[in-house]
A and B are shown apart, each in its own frame.
Chain A
Amino acid sequence: MSRSRTVILVRAAVLAGLVALLEVLCRVGIVDPMAVLPPSEMVGAMIDQLRSGELDESMVQTFSTIGLAFGVAVALGTLGGAVVHAVPRLRRAIDPLLASYYAVPTFIFYPLLVALLGLGKLPLVVLGVLSATPAVVISTLAGLDGVPPVLRKVARVQRLGRARTLWLVVLPAALPRLFGGFKLALSYALIGVIAGEFILSGSGLGYSISFAYQSFDSRAMYGAMLFVLLVAVGANTLLYVWEGRLARRRLRT
């Protein structure tokens, strides 16, 4: 316990050190404060923006898009992974594609998606789904591979049937690995959606940042950036903590 606490302290100290360094560099003028706001002012800018309510609409827009993309990716990826797992031939065909998937920048298809689906929520959701789903498929495959065969045998001795075996035995046994995939999927969905908004969109947090950038409003830009950063880290931490809770029971305490 005390060791992991030390690790957390060191980690926090590193981050705080870097932030403090940036603050000093900006204040002293080594980094142009017009180009990069000192961190303290970023925080101020973020608070101002949140107070003013100008981000409210973008937030709703972006978070709902991310949530939708994440949900679809989790459902699609888990299902797809299960199907691929069940058909070894399909698996052999698809494995290399999955392995190289993230070598391709998915964003480059975004203009195509806009051309096909019009400007709006839909192409962004699709982009998020495209970025996030393969991670879920990969982790689902790993999770299913990792289910000890003897547990499936127990299910058969208990005469569970397919659906119950899946729900009561396979899924819980695979859950820790599935969870890893869900975490990644959330990050990928967030990156996909915000990048999409950044490139081509009329609303959302990504758009707000890009708009502020183009209008030289660095306070607004850094405020929004910091906010996105905090939300991303916050969401991931939340999943991380939840995962830890699940895992703690299974592992030796």
Chain B
Amino acid sequence: MTGGVGDIAVMEEPHASLRGVVRRYGGAQPVHALGPVDLDLRRGEFFSVVGPSGCGKSTLLDVLSGLGRPTGGTVSFEGAELGGEVPDGVGVVFQEDASFPWLTVRDNVAFGLRRTGLDGRETARRVEHAIGFMGLGQFAAHYPAQLSGGMRQRVCIARTLVMQPRLILLDEPFGALDQQTRLLMGDELLRLWRETGATVLLITHALDEAAMLSDRVGVMSARPGRFIDLLETGWPRERDSRVVSDPAFGALTSRLWSSLRTESLKTMGRAA
């Protein structure tokens, strides 16, 4: 079957893809952390990953970003296979606080741009924009130690944002936040996604967050993590946290929960 308008979407090259990816950690007690996993990220989509704790979500991010080499299988980004380095155009926000404590918020955010050869005015403009966008305007001259954990995480997001990555990977960026703040941060994330047009992969342990933010949600099994369910939310591109009152939201969340319940019980060492 060739031609046909409908095929274009199908034929479109995935923005990033994993083929048969497996990751094992060596050492005294080898761990099979991930896979085999196959995944295609569509250009410009918002994809969330949920899974029980310790199932290999951060490991997935590690191999997808190019930070870690898979033990087996291949990872490619924009058509090129990764070879142990992080390709240009990928931004990562880590699960742990990764702000630089010796730099002010402004210098943290400007960190990557300073070495891109961009002229000073444009650098300053982008930095101020990212700082404002993340609601850090009043804190530009503060040091991370003077900020809350959630604000530090926003600094890291801003630092990633200014580089204008085409693929943004976020590892439980709001893990430490309370529910209300998380919902609001979710809105900011949606805004960021729409504004940049980037492909976003968000790892989260909050099912409601995944259901509300994403175009698609991948559900991972207990370790070694594989995708056991992949669901399309069908939200319009212009959406925000108010979708939580949509009846479809409840259906999505409960489907996620039923996929995940068995797996989560496994990690707790109990039978389903």
Give A residues with C-beta under 8 Å from B. 148, 150-151, 153-154, 156-160, 164, 168-169, 172-173, 175, 246, 249-253
Asked whether, in the complex, the Cβ of A157 is within 8 Å of the Cβ of B86, the reply is: yes
Report yes or no: B96 in contact with A148, Cβ–Cβ below 8 A.
yes
Across-interface contacts of A173 in B (CB, < 8 A): 100-102
A23 to chain B, nearest CB (A): 45
When distances are taken between beta carbons in the complex, the residues of chain B under 8 Å from A253 are 145-146
| Cα–Cα distance between A156 and B86 once the two chains are bound (Å) | 7
* 24 contacts across the A-B interface (CB closer than 8 A): A148-B96, A148-B98, A150-B97, A151-B98, A153-B98, A154-B92, A154-B94, A154-B98, A157-B65, A157-B67, A157-B91, A157-B92, A158-B111, A158-B115, A160-B115, A173-B101, A175-B102, A249-B102, A250-B101, A250-B144, A250-B145, A251-B145, A252-B145, A253-B146
Q: Is the CB of A159 within 8 A of B67?
A: no
Contact check, A159 vs B86: say whether CB atoms are below 8 A apart.
yes
Q: Interface centre among A156, A164, A175, by most B CB within 10 Å?
A: A156
**Chain A residues whose CB sits within 8 angstroms of the CB of B86 once the complex forms:** 156-157, 159
Q: A150-B94, A154-B94 are in contact. Are A250 and B102 (CB under 8 A)?
A: yes
Residues of A with C-beta under 8 A to B65:
157
| Consensus secondary structure, chain A interface | helix
Q: Mark B179-211, 1 if CB is under 8 A from A, else 0.
A: 000000000000000000000000000000000
B131-178 contacts to A, CB under 8 A, are 143-146, 163
Checking A156, A160, A249 against B143 with a beta-carbon cut-off of 8 angstroms, the contacting residue is: A249
Give chain B's interface residues, CB within 8 Å of chain A.
Answer: 65, 67, 85-86, 88, 90-92, 94, 96-98, 100-102, 111-112, 115, 143-146, 163
- Chain A residues within 8 Å of B98, by CB: 148, 150-151, 153-154
Provide the bound-state CA to CA distance between A249 and B105, in Å.
Answer: 12
B217 CB, min distance to chain A CBs, angstroms: 25
B146 & A153 in contact (Cβ 8 Å cutoff)? no
Contact A172 B96 (CB under 8 A): no
Could you list 17 further interchain pairs (A-B, Cβ under 8 angstroms) beyond the known A246-B102, A251-B145, A252-B146?
A148-B98, A150-B94, A151-B100, A153-B67, A153-B92, A154-B94, A154-B98, A157-B67, A158-B115, A172-B100, A173-B101, A175-B102, A249-B102, A250-B101, A250-B102, A250-B144, A252-B145
Give 10 nearest A-B pairs by CB, closest first: A250-B101, A172-B102, A150-B98, A150-B96, A157-B92, A158-B112, A249-B143, A157-B86, A252-B145, A154-B98
Min CB gap B138→A, angstroms: 16
B115 touches A164 (CB 8 A): yes
B67, B97, B145: residue with the most chain A Cβ atoms closer than 10 Å: B145
Closest residue to B165 on the A side, CB-wise? A157
